[in-house]
Amino acid sequence: MSSQLEILTEPILPPKAGEIGYEGLNPRSEVLRAGWTHPKHPGARALKSDILVEHDFAVTMRDGAKLYADIYRPTEDAKAGAVPAIVCWSPFGKKANGIEVLRYTTPWNLGLKDDALSGLEKFEAPDPAEWVPNGYAIINIDNRGCGDSEGVMACHGFQEAQDGHDTVEEIAKLPWCNGSVGLAGNSHLAIAMWGTAAQQPPSLKAIAPWEGCGDLYREHFARGGIYCGDLFDELIVKHMLRGRNGMVSPRLMFERSGLMNEWWAEKRPDLSKIKIPTYITGTWTNTMHGMGSIRGWLETASQNKWLRFHPWQEWYDLWGDKNSNNELMQFMDRYLKGERNGWENNTPRVRMALLRFGKKNPQSHANIVEDGFPPKRTEYKKAFLRPDGSASLGEESPAASGSSTSLSYDSTSQDDVLTFTYKFDKPTRIMGLPKAVLYMSCPGNDDLDVYVTLEKLDVEGKQMENLNVPWEGIPVSSFEEMQSQQKTEVIMYKGPQGVLRASHRAIDEAKSMHPNWPFHPHDREDKIEPGMVVRLDIGIWAMGIEYDAGEQIRIVVGGNSRSVSNFGSDRHSLNKGRHHLHLDGEHASHVILPFV
């Protein structure tokens, strides 16, 4: 990165004993015996074998900075010999914080039983209690600037990827390691492993990005060119990050310039450099990570890669679904231990899932084997938006008329939106990448922020929701019984959404991974003349939903987010006055839907 680009930082709270699992810097070793249970978490999983723990083990980076890790591995008398290592990389602390997040911040522990976790796991990472008895070492590391690790906390990008490379190579040299290292985990762990794997550390033999966006600007902090990092700023920075030297601030970097620059560009790693075995998971219900999983599948260069989209919330899939955990271990057994376990022959390269919404069981529509993603059999149909509020599916574009037909809404109102519905007359499956093509104008402003949401309605026209964990694991039997504070994004999902700021509408087709997911450079602003009609191509987050006969899809166009969690993007809107959506002739607004 150019030294001329000033890097802006912000303070974070220092680590404090008793918070987020922190116990103070105290390098030491101990053995936790079989049967041990975590003293601070009653009912947690008991260990089924002895585990040797090396607390606060120092790992030195190429610039001399020391990062501290907890290493969980078989004891010397376990006769395990040299074992492979799985590095779990994130800034959320390295002790007991997985079980703490589930128990104290998610509704109903996401339906998981108290003994689902041991308390040794790092947040969003595999549990050592499950992996060490099977001949693995789990490395829970505090990345640069986290806890007592030295340096300023980076937020992904080259520094974090370089540190990941160095950590992999240092761990591989340790006398108990067989020289094979893998990366696994959710969210930050998955995002970071895209960058680390693109650095091609020689000892990194396999990665399992379990839900991770791959472009921090377009998929997380500035979707559509609009800042939407408030969840990160208000929840993660204030309540989950601890360090002594502050952190590089995405918020401040965006406030200085909301356009793409070299700092943001390095947070979109070149996935074509990833050539090692890669097992990718994704879910439709996570509004941050899904598109990273898809780009990972499409752009990584590995000849040994797999993609599995599942119907659950990501932490539930990692910690609560035994089949998922068993598959992850089989994958690592194959590529970190070299076991000939039939993984390649027995595991379909692509498996998808379809959400059903309401009380319908999604498990019956999981593990759908496909020939690729998007599936080759996909049929793309245009749903033209009509002035009467209907969507005409597959019909020809409305003919040009003597006068323009348009509808409008108050762009600053959460409730004033335009809706267009289509009712299915037979069971229908939509799965893949949708896109909206909207012709918009705004008489009173030179820019506009537009949101397009795809919602599901029941046969009576009532909006439906999807539960992201099994109903049988939670103490309520309907969405109506839930309190408002329980209806969080980890629990429920309403449908996919696309967003774009009109001045960021430029497209670089050469970099678009799919015609329905346009690549917006975001490197300039093309303001619009008040009242001028502009075409907006808006990629909508990938979806997989089944509709019964009589159920409906509702296309919603408005000036504000309608997702369960909008990450504060409404607060950063440029909207003023009324937006006009144009519907006929050369301005035939429509949504392209992928049918399978």
Which domain CATH number covers 384? Answer: 2.60.120.260
For 186-254, the DSSP string reads ETHHHHHHHHHHHT--TTEEEEEEES--S-HIIIIISGGGS---HHIIIIIIHHT---SS-EE-HHHHH
For 274-315, what is each residue's pLDDT tens digit? Answer: 999 999 999 999 888 999 999 999 999 999 999 999 999 999
> For residue 399, what pLDDT band results from cuts at 50, 70 and 90?
low
Residue 1, domain member (yes or no):
no
Pair (430, 576) in one structural domain: yes
> For residue 403, what pLDDT band results from cuts at 50, 70 and 90?
low
Residue 394 confidence (pLDDT): 76
The strand pairing partners of 184, in sequence order, are: 208
Residue 103 confidence (pLDDT): 87
Terminal CA-CA length for the chain: 44
pLDDT at 1 over 70: no
Residue 569 confidence (pLDDT): 60
> For residue 363, what pLDDT band results from cuts at 50, 70 and 90?
confident
Of 60-69, 267-276, 558-567, the least confident: 558-567
Residue 546 confidence (pLDDT): 97
Kindly list the distances between the CA atom of residue 393 and the CA atoms of 104, 398, 404, 590, 592, in Å, as whole numbers in the listed order. 46, 12, 21, 9, 9
Average pLDDT over residues 49-71: 98
Q: Strand locations in 300-359, DSSP E?
A: 305-310, 350-352
Length of the chain counted residue by residue: 596
Average pLDDT over residues 95-104: 87
Cis link prior to 374 (omega < 30° from 0)? yes
Q: How far apart are CA 11 and CA 238, in angstroms?
A: 10
pLDDT at 360 over 70: yes
What are φ and ψ of residue 389, in 5° steps? 90, 10
Residue 245, domain member (yes or no):
yes
Residue 567 confidence (pLDDT): 54
Residue 328, domain member (yes or no):
yes
Pair (505, 573) in one structural domain: yes
pLDDT at 570 over 80: no
Residue 2, domain member (yes or no):
no
Pair (390, 286) in one structural domain: no
Average pLDDT over residues 392-403: 70
Pair (226, 327) in one structural domain: yes
pLDDT at 411 over 80: yes
Q: What is the share, in percent, of the chain residues with pLDDT greater than 70?
A: 97
Q: How far apart are CA 407 and CA 245, in angstroms?
A: 52
> Considering its fold, how many domains does the chain have in total?
2
Residue 355 confidence (pLDDT): 97
Residue 178 confidence (pLDDT): 97
Using only C-alpha atoms, the chain has a radius of gyration, in whole angstroms, of 24
For residue 158, the 8-state DSSP code is: H
Residue 176 confidence (pLDDT): 97
Pair (154, 62) in one structural domain: yes
Of 104-108, 271-275, 281-285, 494-498, the least confident: 104-108
Mean pLDDT for all residues in the chain: 94
Residue with tokens 């068993």, as numbered in its chain? 326
For residue 422, give the amino acid letter: Y
Pair (363, 390) in one structural domain: no
Q: How far apart are CA 53 and CA 47, in angstroms?
A: 13
Of 163-172, 301-310, 354-363, 532-541, the least confident: 354-363
Where in the sequence is the domain holding 518, given as residue range(s)?
A: 379-595
Average pLDDT over residues 547-565: 93
Average pLDDT over residues 484-503: 95
Average pLDDT over residues 268-276: 97
Domain CATH code at residue 168: 3.40.50.1820
Residue 565 confidence (pLDDT): 67
- Given 370, 389, 422, which residue is the final one in a domain? 370
As to burial, measured by CB atoms within 10 angstroms (0-12 exposed, 13-18 middle, 19+ buried), residue 47 is: buried
Average pLDDT over residues 202-229: 96
Residue 3, domain member (yes or no):
no
Q: What is the share, in percent, of the chain residues with pLDDT greater than 90?
A: 89
Pair (160, 210) in one structural domain: yes
Pair (282, 385) in one structural domain: no
Pair (291, 414) in one structural domain: no
Residue 218 confidence (pLDDT): 97
Average pLDDT over residues 116-136: 97
The strand pairing partners of 423, in sequence order, are: 552
Pair (293, 406) in one structural domain: no
Residue 248, domain member (yes or no):
yes
Pair (548, 577) in one structural domain: yes
pLDDT at 3 over 70: no
pLDDT at 217 over 90: yes
Pair (383, 365) in one structural domain: no
- Given 311, 335, 370, which residue is the final one in a domain? 370
- Given 329, 348, 370, which residue is the final one in a domain? 370
In this structure, the strands spanning 177-186 and 204-210 are parallel
> For residue 566, what pLDDT band results from cuts at 50, 70 and 90?
low
Average pLDDT over residues 306-327: 95
Residue 165, domain member (yes or no):
yes
Average pLDDT over residues 185-206: 97
pLDDT at 407 over 90: yes
Question: Nearest CA to 158 among 66, 268, 278?
Answer: 268
For 36-46, what is each residue's pLDDT tens digit? Answer: 999 999 999 99
Average pLDDT over residues 339-343: 97
Residue 159 confidence (pLDDT): 96
pLDDT: is 402 or 234 the higher one?
234
Residue 125, domain member (yes or no):
yes
